[in-house]
Structure 1
Amino acid sequence: MKQHFQQIDILKGLAIIAVLLLHSLSREQLIASYAVFHIWQAVPIFMVLMGLNLGMSYSSKTLHFDQLYTPHYFQKKALRIIFPLLLMYVISLVAGFVWEQVYAREVYTLGWKNLIGVLPVSGKGNYFITLLLQSLIVLPLIGYTFNRWPVRTSLVLVFVEIVFQLIAYQIPYFEEDRYLYDAALFRYFSAIALGLWLSRLITTSDKRYSWLLLIAGIGSGLYLYFHQSQGISLPYIRPEWQAQLFLTFPYAALLIFAGILAFPQQSGFAVLQTIATIGKASYHIFLAQVLYFGLVQDDMDIALNLAVCLIAGGVFYWLESYLSKKLS
């Protein structure tokens, strides 16, 4: 039976709150607060956690390749990922229509990208939905190969990520439309690899190799510092995401490891339970905030953004969970 770590839910809760803050603050405010070390780590933390959860779910299994993409797997992922997304498509279509009638402002983002995860009313961070859809196909294969050849799989993941970055730098299309680059799961392959290794570190009492993560995380933090404060930029890699690549993900992994050590595995403390509940609803809150930031023009009211997105996402989580139970 898979061991449950409340710390993971807490970290997801903190990360989704960081996403809302990231989308509420100006770039100047983020830079001034050194957000690259905390708020800007939200998506890397989610991606490392993706690898961590994958490693924990596969650690006790001996799978054959033909057991990866079963009807049960796709049914489970359809209920967990696709069904909430389809519901939000419908909600965004209705909300967009009402918004246009009331405010006489066009808010729809209709086109071929709706087929790959862009909501009909699309706001900040929509690319993460497309990342998540790709993970449904790619993660089982990564988990399968890592279980058998962990070192080789990790090296391949890092290599593929670097090669993708080098190739993407040469593609003129990304100058005109960054969405496919932003939403490419290849950009986070090393983060997934780190999560896989982290799953082994936290499920064993032997922590003697944790010093490797500490050294890598500190080195990663130094790169982030010089990147932001000194404007250091890597050649032959697109500039938009140089604070989120293979050199920076060890810092996110170190934050997760520190959080797992700092927070209790199970706690009845009200604040931690609340944050863990937010973490369980993080996907639904994320979908709600994509719609919200696609509708509103003035998004600088931080308290309002947090309140609306957390409440709307929580209600959506409750509603979707009720409907999915009926379906299953």
Structure 2
Amino acid sequence: MKQHFQQIDILKGLAIVAVLLLHSLSRGQLVDSYAIYHIWQAVPVFMVLMGLNLGMSYGSKTLHFKQLYTRHYFQKKALRIIFPLLLIYAIALVLGFVWEQVYGREVYTLDWKNLIGVLPVSGKGNYFITLLLQSLLALPLIGYTFHRWPILTTLVLVLLEIAFQALAFQISYFNQDRYLYDAALFRYFSAIALGLWLSRLITASNSRYGWLLLLAGLASGVYLYFHIYQQVRLPYIRPEWQAQLFLTFPFATLLCYWGILAFPQQSNVPVLKGMATVGKASYHIFLVQVLYFGLVVDDSNIALNLTVCLVTGMIFYWVESFLSKKISR
């Protein structure tokens, strides 16, 4: 049986709050607050946790390939991922119409990308939805191969990420439209691999590999400093995401590891329990914030952004969970 770690939910809760802050603060505020070491790590932390959960799910199982893409798997993912997405699509269509009638401002983003996860009213961070949809197909295979050939799988994932970055640098289409580049799961393959290794580290009695993670994480932190504050740039890699690639993901992994060590596995402390609840609703909160930032013009009110997105996201989570239970019966 898969062991539950409340720390993972707490880390997700902290990460989704960081996403909201990331989308509310100016770049200058982020740079001045050294956000590259905390708030800016939100998405890498989510991707590492994706690999961690995958490793926790597959670590104790003996699977055959035919057991990966089953009807049960797709039904479970459809309820967990697709159903909330379809609900927010419908809500976005209605709210977009109301917004245009009331404020006379066009907010719809209707094109072929709606088929791959772009909301009809699209705001900041929408690319992550497309990343998540890709993961539905990629993660079972990655978890299966890692369980059998961990070192080879890790090597392949890292090389695929590097190869994609080198190829993307040559593709002129991304100069006009970056969405497919931003939303490519390939960019986070090494983060997923690190999450898989982290799942072994936290469940093993021997923590000697923690020193390797510490050294790699500190090296990543040094690179991040030089990249952000000394304007160091890598050749042959597109400049937009050089703060999130194979050289930086060990730092996010180290943050996750420290969080797992620092927080209790189970706690009834109200603050921790509340943050864990926010973490469980992080996907729904994220969907709500994509729509929210697609509607509002002035997004500089941090308290308003946090309150609306967290409260509405939690309500959406509870309502959607109720509907999902009704459907699954």
Counterpart of 1:63 in structure 2 is 63
Letter in 1 for 2:283: Y
Aligned to 1:176: 176
Q: Following the alignment from structure 1 to structure 2, what is the Cα–Cα distance between the partners of residues 296 and 188?
A: 30
The alpha carbon displacement at 1:13 in A equals: 0.1
Aligned residue in 1 for 2:147: 147
Distance in 1, matches of 2:102 and 2:293, equals: 17
CA drift of 1:203 comes to: 0.9
5 Å-filtered alignment, 1:9-158, equals: 9-158=9-158
Residue 276 (str. 1) matches residue 276 (str. 2): yes
Q: Secondary structure at the match of 2:276?
A: helix
Alignment of 1:195-274 (within 5 A): 195-274=195-274
Between the aligned partners of 1:277 and 1:8, the Cα distance in structure 2 is 11
Q: In the aligned structure 2, how far is the partner of 1:156 from the partner of 1:301?
A: 44
Q: For residue 319 of structure 2, what is the aligned residue in structure 1? A: 319
Q: CA deviation at 1:205?
A: 1.7
C-alpha separation in 2, matches of 1:169 and 1:38: 28
Aligned match of 1:193:
193
AA partner of residue 114 (structure 1): N
Structure 1: state its 5+ residue gaps: none
Question: Following the alignment from structure 1 to structure 2, what is the Cα–Cα distance between the partners of residues 186 and 208?
Answer: 29
Offset, 1:179: 0.2
Measured in 2, the distance between the counterparts of 1:234 and 1:204 equals 36
Partners of 1:91 and 1:16 lie apart in 2 by 21
Question: How far did 1:74 drift?
Answer: 0.1
CA distance in 1, matches of 2:66, 2:2: 22
Instruction: Supply the distance in 1 between the matched residues of 2:210 and 2:107 (Cα, whole angstroms).
Output: 48
Shift of 1:95: 0.6
Equivalent AA in structure 1 for residue 14 of structure 2? L
CA distance in structure 1 between the partners assigned to 2:100 and 2:35 by the alignment: 35
| Distance in structure 1 (CA, Å) of the matches to 2:228 and 2:119 | 32
Provide the rounded CA distance (Å) in 1 between the counterparts of 2:221 and 2:150: 25
Matched residue, 2:4: 4
Deviation string for 1:144-195 (max 9, x for gaps)? 0000000000000000000000000000000000000000000000000000
Which structure 1 residue ranges, 4+ long, deviate > 2 Å from structure 2?
A: none
Post-superposition offset of 1:237: 0.2
The corresponding residue for 1:310 is: 310
Q: CA deviation at 1:204?
A: 1.5
Q: Residue type matched to 2:27 in 1?
A: R
Q: d(CA) in 1 for partners of 2:326 and 2:206?
A: 43
Q: Distance in 2 between matches of 1:255 and 1:209?
A: 15
Q: Which residue of 1 aligns with 2:286?
A: 286
Q: Distance in 2 between matches of 1:228 and 1:182?
A: 19
Quote the Cα distance in structure 1 between the aligned partners of 2:205 and 2:306.
38
- Secondary structure class of the residue paired with 1:317: helix
Give the distance between the partners of 1:305 and 1:129, measured in 2 at CA: 20
Tell me how far 1:209 sits from its aligned partner: 1.4
Kindly state the Cα deviation for residue 208 of structure 1 after the two structures are TM-superposed: 1.3
Q: Where in structure 2 are there 5+ consecutive unaligned residues? A: none
**How far apart are 1:134 and its partner, in Å?**
0.1
| Inter-partner Cα distance in structure 2 for 1:171 and 1:27 | 27
Give, in angstroms, the shift of residue 2 of structure 1. Answer: 0.6
Give the Cα separation in 2 of the matches to 1:247 and 1:239: 14
The separation in 1 between residues aligned to 2:233 and 2:208, in whole angstroms, is 34
The one-letter amino acid paired with 2:6 is: Q
Aligned residues: 328
CA distance in 1 between partners of 2:166 and 2:207 (Å): 35
Counterpart of 2:296, as a letter, is V
Show CA shifts across 1:37-86 (max 9, x none). Answer: 10000000000000000000001111000000000000000000000000
Match of 2:163 in 1: 163
1:21, 1:288 → 2: CA distance? 14
Q: Give distance in 1, aligned partners of 2:281 and 2:109.
A: 25
